[in-house]
Structure formats: structure tokens, C-alpha cells
Amino acid sequence: MKIAHVHRISTIQKMKGNSNYNQAKKGNLESAHKLVKEIVLDTEKFEKLQGLICPVIKPSGNRIPLALAQHISANSNTVLYD
């Protein structure tokens, strides 16, 4: 599959400036969900997506990738896959 366009949905500066960032990075999934919902406001970009989402996550620590994958999956026709 060829990727025609990559659209950046956030920047590391926006994330680091969010009050939930440090806790999300330390492994707090609730803080990660709050962070993603506050940073990724335009979920219409996800509506036409289909397929599988496989977040790369560590056994402990940063939960931002998982929260983002769950957010995308909840707003699209994708399936979250581990």
C-alpha cells in the first residue's frame, strides 16, 4: 500500500505542554486518554479509515500510543489489534 499523504495530528510541543503528559508518559492510561482527547480534536479525519490498528506499546510506561490507537479506533471503522 502506498501512502499518498501524511497529516500530522499533533506536535511533541503541544503534548509536552499538556497537563496530562507527564502522567501519561509514566503509564497512566486515564491521563493518556485525556491528553489525546485534548490534543486530537478533529476526529473527522478518521471516519473513512478501515483496517487494523496495532499500537506499539511497552509492558510499562508510556500509554500515549495505546490511547491514540483507541481514540482512532473509536472514531473510525478500524479494529484495535494487539
Q: Which residue has the higher pLDDT, 57 or 37?
A: 37
Contacts with 60 (C-beta within 8 Å, 6 or more apart), sequence order: 27
Pick from 59, 49, 34, 42: which is nearest to 80 by CA? Answer: 49
Query: What's the rounded Cα separation, in Å, for the pair 64 and 31?
Result: 9
pLDDT of amino acid 4: 67
Q: What is the mean pLDDT of residues 3-32?
A: 84
pLDDT of amino acid 66: 94
The yes-or-no verdict on residue 1 having pLDDT over 60 is no
pLDDT of amino acid 45: 83
Confidence (pTM): 0.83
Q: Which residue has the higher pLDDT, 44 or 28?
A: 28
Query: pLDDT for 68-77, tens place per residue?
Result: 999 999 999 9
